[in-house]
């Protein structure tokens, strides 16, 4: 057997399990996995031109366990059963072995891939020679033909450069350039590439607080504001009964990753925003570039002892159309923070052991969660919006039915906010 001397990682497959406490709702993933197991053979090789070995392998795979059933049962990261143990079936249990291998690795990902957070964490923690590329695309495809043509073109070029250097010894300069290249997205179909030596690149943290309305930009449950002004009132909150019909659509980054939506295409989110809590800035006076990991803090209560919180970052144009940028999700009972067993870039980490699960108290509880990283220009004249949903019908299971009534607090004692990594441009107006 030949020793592997270099790898090109087009997506972080080691992270394809559902996050504990935020399991997927649909059944497409296990169907796709099953097809790979028993229906889609590997290409024949020179020593097996008749394809006997692939057929034998697929017969052996017929008794493989059901992905959705097994991972759906693994609600906590300390689960350890013969069929599924998070530490045995995930990378954490073998992290040191992976790091010690020091195999040259090229991490290749996209801002709309479900594994993009994992890609930057691998880059931060890996010890071998490596590079990182993040494009303006998802795991699979998008309707934009120019974007997908560039993806295919760069994918081929970078693979050849990487393997020519490491396997053929061709000095093509692949290690002489910056180790990280990423796309800065302006609008759909409009992006530019930039380079950096470290992730995240140098930015300025800007904290925006959830505040009262009305912004006049959306007919949502509360139509709240979002500004740099810290709340000064002693008691303030927004309340709504979770609407179980809210959704980010059926062509999301989650569907796209498992083959259910070969082309990712988020809808105009204004209809979903109207069923949710929203917090929107005034129109921006100048372009604002957000590059890195937005971090959201919510102070919440619920009429039940648990609730899900889906937080969307969106860009709103002058006509009111709301475009998806990125998101984060946290089940409130999994809110306890812990120290990550790897360099987590200073981001909040929920260990999600069974002993960490805490029902929501009657008093406001603090939830801290990071959104998937992005590099997006919010254009002058547009608005930045944070939308808080309690359900995502087409992408996640329901925490309860009937749904809870939740409160999101925005007072001096309980200031809900978002911290944005600003790469350039001015802050949103107050």
Q: What is the DSSP secondary structure assignment for residue 39, as one 8-state letter?
A: T
Q: Where are the beta strands (DSSP E) in 139-276?
A: 180-187, 190-196, 204-211, 224-227, 237-241
- Cα separation, 386 vs 381, in Å, equals 17
The length of the chain, given as a count of residues:
430
- Cα separation, 358 vs 239, in Å, equals 22
Burial class (CB in 10 A: 0-12, 13-18, 19+), 267: middle
Tokens for 134, please give them: 């993040």
**137: closest CA among 116, 108, 113, 107?**
113
* Helix intervals (H) in 275-333: none
Q: Is 353 helix (H, G, I), strand (E, B) or coil?
A: coil
Contact 256, 140 (CB under 8 A): yes
Burial class (CB in 10 A: 0-12, 13-18, 19+), 47: exposed
Looking at residue 345, its pLDDT comes to: 97
**329: closest CA among 272, 278, 265, 397?**
397
Kind and range of the H or E element at 331?
Answer: strand 322-331
Looking at residue 17, its pLDDT comes to: 30
337: how many CB neighbours lie within 10 A of its CB? 13
The model's pLDDT over 183-231, given as tens digits with 9 standing for 90+, comes to 999 988 899 999 999 999 999 999 999 999 899 999 999 999 999 999 9
Question: If you write DSSP's letter for every residue of 400-415 in order, what string do you get?
Answer: -SSPPEEEEEBSSSSB
Looking at residue 422, its pLDDT comes to: 97
Q: Is 329 helix (H, G, I), strand (E, B) or coil?
A: strand
Looking at residue 10, its pLDDT comes to: 65
Residues of the chain with pLDDT under 70: 1-34, 41, 425-430
Return the C-alpha torsion angle 166, 172, 177, 183, nearest 10.
Answer: -90
- Cα separation, 429 vs 22, in Å, equals 34
Contact 116, 92 (CB under 8 A): no
- Cα separation, 201 vs 292, in Å, equals 8
**Where in the chain are the domains?**
7-196, 204-425
Looking at residue 426, its pLDDT comes to: 47
Contact 202, 307 (CB under 8 A): no
- Cα separation, 217 vs 348, in Å, equals 31
- Cα separation, 244 vs 398, in Å, equals 8
**377: closest CA among 329, 323, 321, 429?**
323
CATH number of 204-425: 2.60.120.260
**290: closest CA among 162, 156, 182?**
182
Looking at residue 83, its pLDDT comes to: 81
Preceding amide of 402 cis, omega within 30: yes
The model's pLDDT over 71-98, given as tens digits with 9 standing for 90+, comes to 788 889 888 888 888 777 777 778 888 8
Contact 385, 270 (CB under 8 A): no
| C-alpha 152, offset from chain centre | 22
DSSP bridge partners of 369: 296
């Amino acid at each position: 057997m030949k020793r592997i001397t270099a790898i090109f990682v087009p997506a972080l497959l080691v992270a394809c399990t559902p996050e504990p406490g935020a399991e997927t709702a649909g059944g497409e993933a296990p169907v796709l996995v099953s097809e790979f197991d028993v229906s889609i053979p590997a290409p024949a090789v020179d020593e097996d031109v008749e394809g006997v070995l692939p057929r034998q392998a697929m017969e052996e795979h017929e008794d493989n366990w059901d992905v959705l059933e097994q991972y759906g049962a693994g609600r906590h990261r300390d689960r350890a059963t013969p069929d599924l143990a998070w530490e045995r079936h995930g990378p954490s249990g073998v992290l040191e072995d992976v790091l010690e291998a020091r195999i040259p690795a090229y991490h290749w990902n996209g801002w709309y891939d479900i594994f993009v957070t994992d890609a930057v964490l691998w880059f931060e923690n890996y010890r071998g020679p490596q590079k990182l590329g993040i494009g303006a695309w998802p795991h699979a495809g998008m309707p934009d033909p120019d974007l997908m043509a560039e993806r295919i073109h760069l994918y081929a070029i970078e693979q050849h450069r990487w393997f020519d250097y490491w396997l053929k010894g061709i000095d093509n300069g692949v290690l002489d350039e910056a180790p990280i290249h990423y796309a800065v997205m302006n609008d759909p179909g409009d992006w530019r590439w930039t380079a950096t030596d470290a992730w995240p690149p140098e930015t300025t943290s800007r904290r925006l607080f959830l505040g009262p309305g009305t912004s006049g930009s959306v007919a949502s449950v509360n139509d709240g504001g979002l500004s740099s002004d810290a709340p000064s009132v002693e008691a303030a909150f927004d309340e709504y009964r979770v609407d179980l019909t809210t959704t980010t659509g059926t062509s999301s980054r989650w569907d796209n990753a498992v083959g259910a939506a070969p082309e990712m295409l988020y809808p105009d989110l204004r209809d979903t925003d109207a069923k949710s809590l929203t917090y929107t800035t005034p129109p921006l006076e100048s372009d604002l570039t957000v590059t890195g990991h937005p971090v959201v803090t919510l102070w919440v209560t619920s009429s039940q002892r648990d609730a899900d919180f889906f937080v969307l970052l969106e860009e709103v144009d002058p006509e009111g159309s709301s475009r998806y940028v990125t998101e984060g999700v946290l089940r409130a009972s999994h809110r306890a923070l812990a120290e990550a067993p790897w360099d987590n870039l200073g981001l909040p980490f929920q260990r999600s052991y069974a002993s960490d699960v805490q029902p929501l108290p009657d008093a406001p509880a603090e939830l801290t969660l990071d959104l998937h990283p992005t590099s997006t220009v919010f254009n002058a004249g547009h608005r930045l919006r944070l939308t808080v949903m309690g359900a995502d019908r087409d992408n996640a299971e329901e925490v309860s039915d009937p749904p809870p009534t939740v409160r999101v607090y925005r007072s001096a004692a309980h200031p809900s906010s978002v911290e944005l990594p600003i790469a350039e441009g001015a802050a949103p107006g107050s």
